[in-house]
Chains A and B, each alone.
Chain A
């Protein structure tokens, strides 16, 4: 813990979990989508659904989807700004069972591709993604993280991890989930070092890989 976790962060109020964390959820969805969404559906759950309006949670998530940081003073105007950018958005509520009280499900689309991100904001502006495109997972993006969506077929895990290791990057955690046998698989690889662009290129070249996202803390990845 740093003293700047005590004096800080600099953020737009009123709540680190319901506002700052909500911005981070939007940002995370934007990264997993690979850019600005054309449309977004935001579903709030638990305390987010109950007190989100008063905390500006919907505005905050939308601001994050537009790439704003938690200290961006335009957050309160995000509805209007999204309108100007031509982003279609809607809000609703959902009952996410077994999820943290401060949770949301965000569906966003761009270039004919969509993502569905389930994330929670336990406090202090930190977030955790607990589902991606319907598959359970768990990552925060606070350490370098590689997210690979691919066809579920033998050998994929070793080829993907091989591409990471080939760059001298140490993996600290590997999660693999799939929907059905031979269906879509999700690999989440947390690493000790920053993940260079080369790794993304190498993995993307493997057959049956649908999509690769790099999350390097403090960097916006495209």
Chain B
């Protein structure tokens, strides 16, 4: 059983070699890519730095070329700071961080695709604020990124991580499963709990369609990052509490693939259905191309 084609395989190899899940992911990839452990670690460390840089350079005044995105991360921050947040500062900050990263992507800033550009906000939104709140060293966050990547790789190989192929469940859904795995590792969960958390997250987003307004990676993508991040937190909490997914992770991933295959092509990134085919979306589409060209632009 291979550690890259099934979660069960990943767990089996980890158990046999008595390695933490993240380490199995790293070693398997190093062997496959003929890369040293040190180089791989440096590369992963760089991913964390780029995520942080993007987060810190967020500018709430910046707008996307279409004018559809920007500013919401700032609104969320202000709200959390006001103390009125229902769920409190940590969850508030997770939501704000996801919006910030999604907007950075929409506004042509440098991001880490995780697993795609559209879903790039989910993973950093849980690991950065939670790492801070839990007082964890960066090493732990980097390990968590390996755990996330391992889960993402199995999803990519067994199903897909492309909205055009399987809908948004394969982008925000996969990102949420990856983030749940990362968070469970950070909290000291077992390999079983890490795998289980990813299944719980993915199950919650099964069936999510890809329906970007105007065909742009903005609406609903940016806000779905926030939802995906909070679902990851929910899944990690349940898994750490000892709650199990009745359907094991590999079967959930296979179900995701099947749902993707049954999904109408109009709901797979073609912008012909769902939110992309609403009255408002059509109005947006009809806007003169020139309006986009000479619109608010990148400020």
Q: Does B298 sit within 8 A of A, measured CB to CB?
A: yes
**Per-position binary interface string of chain A over residues 4-48, scored 1 when its CB falls under 8 Å from any chain B CB and 0 otherwise:** 111111111111100110000000000000000000000000010
Chain A-chain B contacts (Cβ-Cβ < 8 Å), number: 125
CB pair B47 A12 closer than 8 Å: no
Shortest C-beta distance, B211 to chain A (Å), equals 14
CA distance A71 to B110 in the complex (A): 6
CA distance A20 to B104 in the complex (A): 15
CB pair A3 B215 closer than 8 Å: no
CB pair B216 A6 closer than 8 Å: no
**Which residues of chain A have C-beta atoms less than 8 A from B29's C-beta?**
2-4
**Per-position binary interface string of chain B over residues 110-128, scored 1 when its CB falls under 8 Å from any chain A CB and 0 otherwise:** 1111111110100100000
CB pair B156 A1 closer than 8 Å: yes
> Which of the residues A11, A51, A53, A124 comes within 8 Å of B111, measured between beta carbons?
A11
> Which of the residues A3, A10, A54 comes within 8 Å of B149, measured between beta carbons?
A3
**Per-position binary interface string of chain B over residues 228-258, scored 1 when its CB falls under 8 Å from any chain A CB and 0 otherwise:** 0000000000000000000000000000000
CA distance A211 to B120 in the complex (A): 42
CB pair B110 A10 closer than 8 Å: yes
- Residues of B262-299 at the interface with A, using a CB-CB cut-off of 8 Å, are 271, 289, 292-293, 298
**Which residues of chain A have C-beta atoms less than 8 A from B152's C-beta?**
3, 6-7
- Residues of B140-159 at the interface with A, using a CB-CB cut-off of 8 Å, are 145-146, 148-150, 152-153, 156-157
CB pair B109 A7 closer than 8 Å: no
Q: Does A136 sit within 8 A of B, measured CB to CB?
A: no
Shortest C-beta distance, A205 to chain B (Å), equals 36
Q: Does B1 sit within 8 A of A, measured CB to CB?
A: no
CB pair A6 B108 closer than 8 Å: no
Closest residue of A by beta carbon distance from B35: A2
Q: Does B193 sit within 8 A of A, measured CB to CB?
A: no
CA distance A59 to B150 in the complex (A): 34
Instruction: Given A10-B47, A13-B120, A53-B65, check contact A73 B109 (CB 8 Å).
Output: yes
**Which residues of chain B have C-beta atoms less than 8 A from A76's C-beta?**
108, 298
CB pair A16 B117 closer than 8 Å: yes
CB pair B64 A54 closer than 8 Å: yes
Q: Does A61 sit within 8 A of B, measured CB to CB?
A: no
19 examples of A-B residue contacts, CB within 8 angstroms: A1-B4, A2-B32, A2-B33, A3-B149, A4-B43, A4-B149, A6-B115, A6-B156, A7-B113, A7-B123, A13-B107, A14-B107, A14-B108, A19-B108, A51-B215, A53-B65, A54-B214, A56-B65, A73-B109
